[in-house]
Amino acid sequence: MSFFAVTPVVFVALIFFHVTTGQNYNFAVDISVAATPADYQCLYQKGYSAAFAQAYSPANGGSLNPNVIQNLYNSMKAKLGGEIYVTPTITKDGKTQFDEVFNAVTAAGLEVVTIWLQVTAPITWSNNIQNNINIIQSFVDRALVSFKFYNFDIINFEVRKFA
């Protein structure tokens, strides 16, 4: 089974909900650029069942990905499951990054039921391990407050020091 068709990445799943459906995913694609409805339809026809849309980018000190809302709408039109993920920045706390994503997606009329935190190459994180832990913990703490009325699981939340 392949979960990432374009670029292999590592995700730390913090909150496990689904934006659109509760289906099982056979193949999924990670999208950080604008994709058209035809792009998503092609993926669906090729057997993909979900799209992971980047909702937050570390570019320019951290900002909402301008393509996330349209990508979610386009994936839903193609009958693909939709997931969102945050590629964090070390220049803002996790709470702020979570809020920017949660508020934008809910303002667009979408129910936020999954947010993934993407953890990639160690080079993108601070040399200060405690700072990195604080960003992740702040993100998790804010998610706990935002989803307080939902039934959720925190999975795979373990911080390890890589030598």
| Average pLDDT of the chain to the nearest whole number | 78
Helix (H, G, I), strand (E, B) or coil at 65: coil
For the segment 49-99, what is each residue's pLDDT rounded down to a tens digit?
A: 989 999 999 988 999 999 999 999 999 999 998 889 999 999 999 999 999
Neighbours of 49 (CB within 10 A): 17
pLDDT of the residue at 25: 66
Per-residue confidence band for 24, with pLDDT thresholds at 50, 70 and 90:
low
pLDDT of the residue at 144: 79
CA distances from 102 to 34, 72, 107, 113 (A): 19, 14, 8, 10
How far apart (Å, rounded) are the C-alpha atoms in residues 55 and 107? 14
pTM higher than 0.85: no
pLDDT of the residue at 23: 55
The CATH number of domain 11-146, selected from 3.40.50.970, 2.40.128.690, 3.40.50.2000, 3.20.20.80 = 3.20.20.80
Residues β-bridged to residue 84: 53
**What are φ and ψ of residue 146, in 5° steps?**
-65, -35
